[in-house]
Structure 1
């Protein structure tokens, strides 16, 4: 420990921009030795303070005319506030210990507001019932997910007036590793998070709209960036069991001694197994197996190496989406099936290495390389006997994929006169190679009747960006630009005459402005351009037309803390897309939907009643419309117009903790003229735990009031076995009924 402090002191001495008359320091997590970015530091008798940078460093002016008493107050949400006695011009290291969450520690500053709500969401990570990492997406205010194919398939996502399908308009990453699959066999941007063990999630960062230079392709409605913990507070063995033959086991094992952890070296492994038949009449036989390992260590005084490896295997059967008429007629029940040969199999193996170099206390250089091997096989039947009255309409979507990538980012802080300047420069590439990407007509999963599409894809994306934030007093200006180059190659095994290569460059500028009136109020305007790429097969089929449709957005908002225990965020927003022009993987066709426009209003609130009871609520309004369609036919199918989420969280000192959550989605148009409506729903979840130092027992109940609700809905034309003519109506996947699970965790 002495060596660690000595190293920090030597490093501080090189930080020339911190002049005499200041107190310099670094704030770190006492357990993991990780730096705490955006911790708030102030003199005890002063209202204003500073926040720590990416490396945890701060510099606070020692103003003699303010008659400082030499005591610093250091606070960070989720940690116990500390008082530090200092003697004028010196350097300190502040080690923070984890403690109860306290909204009073949230201070509105020009630097920290972007993360205010995100940091607090750690409450939700610990207390909301989850079965997979996909459920953690719900911690993003206004984001909804829906499962409609057996539990192993990536969930459908809704956000800001978008039916994002499985990821077409949201950029998702884990530890910098891209989750979205471009030119995927099932749908563009397919984002399957099931390879992440939810208990390992340390933070969920997010942003809505196309305003962030670090997030390029698919980041039109926004981005979600998850990060796993760098170290375990304790090793854990957890078992869960519940209805529908559900069993889940999790093991998280810390591998190193406390002596090594004190030196900044951490390593752990984790595993997860899940099995469930689900509530359906035909069992899902759903199983998922995950392994995850992470190692990070200091290399010399100024470098940190992080290595990650993980693997996922999952397979399942499914009953799919069923038509309303089959249920109303009594042909099947709500949890029945018309074709129970649906289902799938998927696996993904990831490896990544990140080297973080601290060139000085105000300069950080990160280099990240990653690789993924991925396989996907999905059988579906949405139309039953519409196209083939004899064999049925079952389809198979299949691919094997390699992903190679590298990203480099340089962050630097400096002063330019009285302005504070924060600069970020980045560059990188991603290469996706698929083999035998397939869409075929099958029967009973075994026999291929006809290939609709079969080929190999190579898609490359190189990028470079620059982002400048300049700050003085109450103003903060953020200006950035991103350049992306794409090369699409498709070797069509069914059409030798096809021209295989297309390429395109797009530039995406961003301008964001913040004005912080005081520690309780901030106004902001965000503007930017983003894009989503089309599937490589679409690009080639259409001679390179509309390769990278652009999105233009703007937010005007206010962040308020009117009382010590209440935090509010209100934003009015606008988003225009040049073309919602995506590959419809289920049919192997191109479905351009033209220009679209969305306007909306987001409201988020968090309130702390006392030291153990918290409340939050999010209300999201949107008006999504097609631009070029005649009035009355402008609706965007399945796009949400009114959603709300929220609930109560509690954490008592005696170990009792838990939450009661709700989510509401309003009725919405299922087709362009709103003649078919997808029914809304309100459903809730309950979690109660008793947590002690060595163990935890808990009860999780999804849908405790046993509401009948439809998790996913589509306006689909289909024909049943003996029907003379096809019928177009709502097809749905029933939402989970009352579902209780018990859990026991042992800590050591």
Structure 2
């Protein structure tokens, strides 16, 4: 009886104590924009409790014993704040905190266990430390990713990553504020991803991950993905003027529309525009023109719901010199920057609308809704083989399309606790619908005369998906991410050249599971194992003839990696990886034919190092090794053409208190096979660039130099069979686009 009385008394006391617990909630803002900050780490000192701010900058701690607490708020490139707060029984203390920007201090960076699955330290640091000059430079931020331009700056770049020649986007998923950049069943090639509609001064950050391990990333994310995030608000209005060699001019302006009054209401809006012109370094002037206009609004429509509206339009037109053969240079027919067909070129445009709604419910559900629309036009004239097929008129082709793209992304997520185990559950749906008119491949002459239409049709392609993702944090050290997604494709092609016109359909679906493990030993060391299945879809003009079979090839990958800080001011990320791809059929847009491609295997090692040498000087270096091979081919004939085998990039960045800042950078790609038996080799290159800025509160002056040491290099290379006008027989050899020589550009920016 006595024991029962003691137990009963203990329970009563415990219940009374629980009834008088308190809490802390708060919102974190960016002082410069007065808008909420997402993903800020909030630690409750001495308790082991931590939180991450949500989409609205909110965080919350519950069931706290009444006492005085210290809260530490930290975010890369912002000054850490420590706040003291007293918790009172039955009350929740509310805090409103503003973080101010500061130079990056690697000593303050910790290897976080809270968001192990999606933390990207490298991306945040590099954007802060490297000057952003154009969208091409921004894409190079992804460690191990190389790009090459082979059509005069107006065409999307060729991309290389993890032993892939990704062409223009077949195996990397690119998005801007969640809106897709890759174009399915494109006139030039599957996954074509043109980022030139992005104004670089508006980029806030780039999230990325290599490998097919993220549940909400579907089509094209086999080698990895990158999501560009544009600014929700401008810190200041600005005007920027640039001028450089080769008749190069650029003007950019961004105007803050709501000012301080809007920020007091958690609202911001701006409009920005960019115009570029250059004749470039080729013997044949480019007459390159590009115009961008972007407008954005971000604000709260209710206390717990924010709305972001973005509209943009982009137009570009240019001439280009095309790919030229080695023998034409060696014989003296043309110079290194010359052209065989000087009438090549193109024109493209894209208009976008993007609406994003984020709501946090009273029960802490985060609901996201996004709708987007793009109107896209593309016309490209190329000549890869010169006079191989038509010895009289030449082999110039036109690739053309008009496209409407509609889509929706939606998700609902909830963070909960079961005992001490933390669960974050996300259920999402995605929908994308592409409609093209007059997707064309034609034989042309001098960009003015159509000689023959090879392909002409309308494409109707739908991709609907659903996914479930779970992040389980069992302890402060160990977490697991498991997810699965289902993608359904329906393809329709109407052949406008067939008599009578035909319309064919096909469909298929694919399931992609993911499983990832993370173990954080301490704030300086984390080990991870990523595994998952990804895929890239094939062109509708492949899908329909195949009857929907074998048109969604799976890619199975794994990464075993470590993030650690061997020194207080050094961060190292190293990973050994493997990727295996199934049989697929590839539509070659340049020829209008379908080519089968067998299984492939890629394996390699990535190493990234960031080191703060002094308070003002930072060093970084990336080293990437890959062994890409075709499976089932005889030894010596299993090379994957143009796939990179070793790349490295890095440099020094300077940030001084007096406003002087800049960087000296290098990029290197080793020799690599240009054909299956390595009898033709694409030569590597080593190129250095420099950026130097002097920045004050009202103005900034910058000098940009590409190819600082004036190296003669080949930016893109292909093993191509071609015939020049007076040749009796065709020749297969390297055809290339020359890289930029020494190129200096001066810029002045005024802030107001």
TM-score category by the smaller chain? over 0.9
- 1:320-331 equivalences under 5 Å are 320-331=322-333
**Alpha-carbon distance in structure 2 between the residues aligned to 1:312 and 1:635:** 39
SS at match of 1:448: strand
Match status 1:80 vs 2:82: no
The residue that corresponds to 2:657 in the other structure is 653
C-alpha displacement of 1:64: 8.0
The residue that corresponds to 1:365 in the other structure is 367
- 1:659-738 equivalences under 5 Å are 659-738=663-742
C-alpha displacement of 1:543: 2.8
- 1:36-435 equivalences under 5 Å are 36-42=37-43, 49-59=50-60, 70-89=69-88, 90-114=93-117, 116-118=119-121, 120-124=123-127, 127-128=130-131, 130=133, 132-360=134-362, 362-435=364-437
Q: CA separation of 1:643/1:571 partners in 2, compared to 1, >3 Å: closer, same or farther?
A: same
Q: CA separation of 1:119/1:306 partners in 2, compared to 1, >3 Å: closer, same or farther?
A: farther
Q: CA separation of 1:405/1:48 partners in 2, compared to 1, >3 Å: closer, same or farther?
A: closer
Flag structure 1 segments of 5+ consecutive residues without an equivalent.
Answer: 1-16
The residue that corresponds to 1:515 in the other structure is 519
Match status 1:483 vs 2:486: yes
Q: 1:499·1:540 contact (CA, 8 Å) conserved in 2? A: no
Match status 1:502 vs 2:501: no
**Alpha-carbon distance in structure 2 between the residues aligned to 1:170 and 1:143:** 10
Q: CA separation of 1:18/1:666 partners in 2, compared to 1, >3 Å: closer, same or farther?
A: farther
1:664-711 alpha-carbon deviations (Å, 9 max, x no partner): 101000000001000001111100000000000010000011111110
User: Once structures 1 and 2 are overlaid, which stretch shifts more, 706-715 or 573-582?
Assistant: 573-582
C-alpha displacement of 1:122: 5.0
Question: How many corresponding residue pairs?
Answer: 729
Q: 1:650·1:657 contact (CA, 8 Å) conserved in 2? A: yes
Q: 1:121·1:139 contact (CA, 8 Å) conserved in 2? A: no
User: Once structures 1 and 2 are overlaid, which stretch shifts more, 713-722 or 464-473?
Assistant: 464-473
The residue that corresponds to 1:8 in the other structure is none
Q: CA separation of 1:421/1:33 partners in 2, compared to 1, >3 Å: closer, same or farther?
A: farther
C-alpha displacement of 1:651: 0.8
Match status 1:633 vs 2:637: yes
Q: CA separation of 1:723/1:120 partners in 2, compared to 1, >3 Å: closer, same or farther?
A: closer
- 1:441-480 equivalences under 5 Å are 441-473=443-475, 474-480=477-483
Flag structure 2 segments of 5+ consecutive residues without an equivalent.
Answer: 1-17
Q: 2:32·2:235 contact (CA, 8 Å) conserved in 1? A: yes
Q: 1:48·1:519 contact (CA, 8 Å) conserved in 2? A: no
SS at match of 1:87: strand
User: Once structures 1 and 2 are overlaid, which stretch shifts more, 388-397 or 27-36?
Assistant: 27-36
Q: CA RMSD in A?
A: 2.0
Q: 1:77·1:119 contact (CA, 8 Å) conserved in 2? A: no
**Alpha-carbon distance in structure 2 between the residues aligned to 1:125 and 1:85:** 30
**Alpha-carbon distance in structure 1 between the residues aligned to 2:368 and 2:294:** 22
1:450-502 alpha-carbon deviations (Å, 9 max, x no partner): 11100000000111111011102111111101011100000011234756100
**Alpha-carbon distance in structure 2 between the residues aligned to 1:709 and 1:111:** 45
C-alpha displacement of 1:30: 2.3
- Give the TM-score normalised by structure 1: 0.94
The residue that corresponds to 2:25 in the other structure is 24
- Give the TM-score normalised by structure 2: 0.94
- 1:460-609 equivalences under 5 Å are 460-473=462-475, 474-495=477-498, 496=500, 500-609=504-613
**Alpha-carbon distance in structure 1 between the residues aligned to 2:63 and 2:363:** 20
Higher-Rg structure is 2
Q: CA separation of 1:163/1:122 partners in 2, compared to 1, >3 Å: closer, same or farther?
A: same
**Alpha-carbon distance in structure 2 between the residues aligned to 1:192 and 1:457:** 20
**Alpha-carbon distance in structure 2 between the residues aligned to 1:64 and 1:708:** 69
Q: 2:690·2:705 contact (CA, 8 Å) conserved in 1? A: yes
SS at match of 2:35: coil
**Alpha-carbon distance in structure 2 between the residues aligned to 1:37 and 1:561:** 25
1:230-261 alpha-carbon deviations (Å, 9 max, x no partner): 00000010000000000000000000130221
**Alpha-carbon distance in structure 2 between the residues aligned to 1:671 and 1:636:** 7
SS at match of 1:450: strand
The residue that corresponds to 2:8 in the other structure is none
1:90-130 alpha-carbon deviations (Å, 9 max, x no partner): 33222111111111222112233455544654543663352
Q: 2:666·2:688 contact (CA, 8 Å) conserved in 1? A: yes
**Alpha-carbon distance in structure 2 between the residues aligned to 1:148 and 1:324:** 15
C-alpha displacement of 1:26: 2.9
C-alpha displacement of 1:362: 3.0
User: Once structures 1 and 2 are overlaid, which stretch shifts more, 420-429 or 121-130?
Assistant: 121-130
Q: CA separation of 1:706/1:273 partners in 2, compared to 1, >3 Å: closer, same or farther?
A: same
**Alpha-carbon distance in structure 2 between the residues aligned to 1:129 and 1:32:** 20
Q: CA separation of 1:607/1:360 partners in 2, compared to 1, >3 Å: closer, same or farther?
A: farther
User: Once structures 1 and 2 are overlaid, which stretch shifts more, 412-421 or 633-642?
Assistant: 412-421
**Alpha-carbon distance in structure 1 between the residues aligned to 2:599 and 2:555:** 10
C-alpha displacement of 1:744: 0.2
**Alpha-carbon distance in structure 1 between the residues aligned to 2:640 and 2:20:** 58
Q: CA separation of 1:129/1:77 partners in 2, compared to 1, >3 Å: closer, same or farther?
A: closer
